A and B are shown apart, each in its own frame.
Chain A
Amino acid sequence: MITIKNLSLRYGDFYALNQITLDIPRGSWSCLVGPNGAGKTTFLKTMLGNKPYDGSISIDGIEVYKNLRNVAFVPQRPEIPAGMNVAEYVMLGRARLDGWGRDSNSSRKYAMEILEEMQLVAMRRQLVTQLSGGEMQRVLIARALVQEAELMILDEPTSALDLHHQISTLDHIERAQKNGTTIVSTMHDITLGAMYAERIIIMQQGRVLLDGQAREVIHSQELKMAFDDGITIHTLENGRPVIVANKATASL
């Protein structure tokens, strides 16, 4: 269980995160949605525990700040190192489990399985600097998956992927969730987010506007409010909700 109490983060007078209180159950998938600048990425990065914050974020009662736990993180804009190939990059995700020494055979085997699942085997000797945006994103997720982490934090994990890879990648993340990993992600595509996450957390201006079951949140007034009434929710014949942005009418 991740317990967040009165979490705030301030830059000068600006509150990037403002009094957030949340419980995230173990093994759940929570998806943060909200307009640009709502504080979603800041929230994810703060959960890592790398930087100080006000309030409390604890996992099973242990504060996350400066506490190196097995948390996988997929940033939206990773720092792409020169001169490192895909295999090496992915194996960094296993380094802690191998005690920072030589790669163990079991790690190399496990990494190969993940590369196969993610259809990355053929490019394992390519330098990561030579990958396309979508390939890099899948490699990043592969690195997160090999960590076998207790918590996986993903910032827009599918933003650079084509439709086929969006679904297959989210399926892999879902499999990790089924194996007990807690998932917290952001996703601009709320429809897609609602397909995978059972919980949706709406953020606006550093606050949590609403947090609850995906099905309920998606039909809430708060969701429309967060996007300034700029969205419409349709329901498909199979009962699945689809969220679309309204075309601006002012200019018509």
Chain B
Amino acid sequence: MKNSEIGRIWHWQITAIVGVVLFIVLLLGVSFGPISLDFQQIIRTLLGLSGGLQDEEKALFLQLRLPRVLLAALVGAALATSGAVYQTVFRNPLADPYLLGAAAGAGLGATIALAGGRSSFYAALPLFAFIGAALAVAATFVISGRSYADPAMLLLSGIAIGSFATAVQTYLQQRNSEVLRPVYSWILGQLTVADWQVVKWASFYIILALSVLIRMSRQLDGLLLSDEEAFSLGISPNKVRIIAIGAATLATATAVSASGLIGFVGIVVPHLVRGITKRATNRALFTVALFGAAFLVLADLGARTLLSPAELPIGVITAFVGAPFLLFVLRAKRVLK
């Protein structure tokens, strides 16, 4: 091995492997369900070759399976990446969209949008969800004050804010009983009603937010140092923080408004990637996004098939995996030290 320069810091093989895994999981996702579809035919359909899926199967694939699986991938990528970014910005291994109250805030915002709007309000929903999420993160941050890097403090503040937002949301829901049903089905997870319209706007906001975050990953690494050191390296710490929190919150809010409240992805995926690579830096953000996508597509597959033909809410699956994992992280958070 030549020693004349530092080896590549991030090994792209890892990203490539996760990419391949994601591709396989996506294929599994579109193929399995109450009606199984053939892999070969799926690929032929996608490539526009002859011998692809026909008629009902083709409609099932294009109108139901594909948008649903793509939405799960987008939402998984958004939640995982924003989890990793929150963890860096708050210097707190337990920061996560769900635990920070961002998800509950987004839920409240979305409920306000549904309760106030008469027509189908889909495109404005992310905006309301974003405002709700941003306010919730800000409130959590303010309440934990200077001790935001203390996991317990941030966690408890997030729980308080989250519970409060959920309480207000429930109140609004009960008062506007006509929105009870859409709100409730939305909270349980929208993946069931995913269509191309949702995929379209969700992918717009999520890809925008994630590309901002991935592009600034090295500045985010600088935030792992003291503010003075970061400044001397050419980073305005507060500016980077605000942009990063804004982008992560936009991704979270979009994910929540597209698919309801899905917890724990932001904790499980970044910590798994760190555990596997033994590294905690933001160079891994793209890999975290791919991994998050694969994770949620797989969780959705579980949600659809475990009690088939009935469906479990996807949040149940992620909580089932995530809650024990959170306990594990709590116990082993010095793993990297």
Contact = CB atoms under 8 A, between A and B. Distances in A.
B337 A129 contact: yes
Interface stretch (A1-9, A85-93, A221-229, A238-246): A85-93
Contacts of B279: 83-85, 88
Contact of B233 (A83, A108, A147): A147
Nearest to A99: B218
Given A50-B227, A81-B280, A115 B6 contact: yes
Interface string A172-183: 000000000000
Contacts of B233: 92-93, 95-96, 147
A111 interface: yes
Contacts of A87: 6-7, 9
Nearest to A130: B337
What's the dominant secondary structure at chain B's contact region?
A: loop
B231 A68 contact: yes
B280 A95 contact: no
B216 interface: yes
Interface string B204-246: 0000000000011011011011111101111111000000000
Interface string B273-290: 010001111010000000
A50 B231 contact: yes
A96 B222 CA distance: 11
Which of A66, A83, A87, A103 is packed against the most chain B CB atoms within 10 Å? A83
B215 to A, nearest CB: 8
Contacts of A85: 9, 279
Contact of A83 (B3, B226, B274): B274
A111 to B, nearest CB: 5
B120 interface: no
B186 to A, nearest CB: 37
B56 interface: no
A190 to B, nearest CB: 25
A83 B233 CA distance: 19
A45 interface: yes
A82 B336 contact: yes
B234 A95 contact: yes
B6 A96 contact: no
A48 B231 contact: yes
Interface string A62-104: 0000101011110100110111110110111101100011010
B5 interface: yes
B4 A48 contact: no
A103 B5 CA distance: 11
B337 A153 contact: no
Interface in B269-323: 274, 278-281, 283
A142 B132 CA distance: 45
B162 to A, nearest CB: 26
Contacts of A72: 232
B9 to A, nearest CB: 5
Nearest to B222: A92
Nearest to A66: B236
A174 B283 CA distance: 33
Interface residues on B, range: 20 to 34
Interface residues of A, number: 41
Given A50-B227, A68-B236, A92 B221 contact: yes
A75 B228 CA distance: 8
Nearest to B2: A112
A249 interface: no
Nearest to A147: B233
Contact of A84 (B7, B219, B224, B235): B224
A84 B216 CA distance: 17
Contact of B218 (A81, A100, A127): A100
Contact of B229 (A78, A84, A105): A78
B6 A112 contact: yes
Contact of A79 (B219, B224, B281): B224
A88 B281 contact: yes
Given A70-B234, A81-B225, A129 B9 contact: no
Contact of B234 (A45, A68, A75, A108): A68
B228 A50 contact: yes
A27 interface: no
Contact of B232 (A73, A90, A100): A73
B6 A91 contact: yes
Given A85-B9, A95-B219, A153-B232, 11 more contacts: A45-B228, A78-B225, A83-B274, A83-B278, A87-B9, A88-B283, A92-B222, A105-B5, A108-B5, A111-B5, A129-B336
Interface of B: 3-9, 215-216, 218-219, 221-222, 224-229, 231-237, 274, 278-281, 283, 336-337
Interface of A: 45, 48-50, 66, 68, 70-73, 75, 78-79, 81-85, 87-88, 90-93, 95-96, 100-101, 103, 105, 108-109, 111-112, 115, 121, 124, 127, 129, 147, 153
Which 10 residue pairs of A and B lie closest in terms of their CB atoms, listed nearest first?
Answer: A83-B280, A81-B224, A73-B232, A96-B234, A79-B226, A108-B5, A50-B231, A109-B5, A83-B336, A108-B6
14 contacts: A70-B234, A72-B232, A78-B225, A81-B281, A82-B224, A84-B221, A85-B279, A91-B6, A92-B218, A105-B5, A109-B5, A109-B6, A127-B278, A127-B336
